[in-house]
A = this chain, B = another copy of it.
Amino acid sequence: MQAGIIGLGLIGGSMGLALQETKMFKTILGYDINPLHNQQALSLGLVDECVELKNIQECDVIFLAIPLDGIIPTLETFDNISPYTTIIDLGGAKEKIASSIPSRMRKNFIGAHPMSGTEFFGPKAALKDLFKNKIIILTDIEDSGEFQVAYAKEIFVSIGMRIIKMGSKEHDWHIALISHLPHIISYALANAVLSQENPQTILALIGGGFKDMSRISKSSPIMWKDIFKQNKENVLKSLDIFEKEILLGKKLMEEEKWEDLKAWMAKANTLQNFM
């Protein structure tokens, strides 16, 4: 068996390392639009060989780990996909892509979203255990081929992931709240401090709270631009929900309703019962 990975950054590179450990594949081919990434991926041993994009389609399984806007155009270049090829998209928003997959390869296609990542990006950010014990959400699998679903599941279980199935519409809404919203907030918090005259003086004081809250503001703008673009409506909706809460907190402070503010915070404390 041969695996191909398109996009050799944090996710694609980590997938290369994880697949190697399974021993399921004779060779793992890689392709990245950035020549430097191909070089780095080879020297870091993320894949066995870097090839042209058109050669990737000969693989038994093809992973797409590229910014979302590149997924459909990449699929469209494939002119020789066998009925037994499995194409797995690892992107963070699903609905728009699900509705644009060329119909001739709909059965080949598996929508998958690994709930793992770090704030770092590029081949050097790849980690062999990035996916271990993490959740992978498979979306709209009733539209994928039975063979492809079974094969994708086998791979994800082999690299230590826990599988959850979901419709792409439901996925995009839940993920807007749990992942896309926190990213927008973190970017805004970082920019709020950076907009001050003396960010250096202020940032000299940071403790663990700000450190955690700003960590994901280091994430890739290229990747996140496409996510916000493709999941725009849900992200805006989640922002409205967040806005309502933050304005409530603000109002309680302005009106000096301290006991109500305490109750509002105590409600937030109950989050830990779910985690």
Q: B-contacting residues of A (Cβ < 8 Å)?
A: 115-118, 134-135, 137, 164, 174-175, 177-179, 181-196, 199-219, 221-222, 224-225, 228-229, 232, 235-236, 238-239, 241-246, 248-250, 253-254, 256, 258-259, 261-272, 274-275
Contact = CB atoms under 8 A, between A and B. Distances in A.
A187 B249 contact: yes
Given A262-B222, A265-B225, A274-B200, A210 B182 contact: yes
B210 A178 contact: yes
B213 A185 contact: yes
Given A182-B210, A191-B245, A261-B228, A205 B250 contact: no
Contacts of A182: 189, 209-210, 213-214
A187 B228 contact: no
16 contacts: A177-B192, A178-B207, A182-B214, A185-B213, A187-B268, A188-B249, A190-B271, A192-B244, A195-B245, A203-B275, A211-B275, A218-B269, A225-B259, A232-B256, A236-B250, A236-B253
Contact of A217 (B192, B236, B271): B271
A219 to B, nearest CB: 8
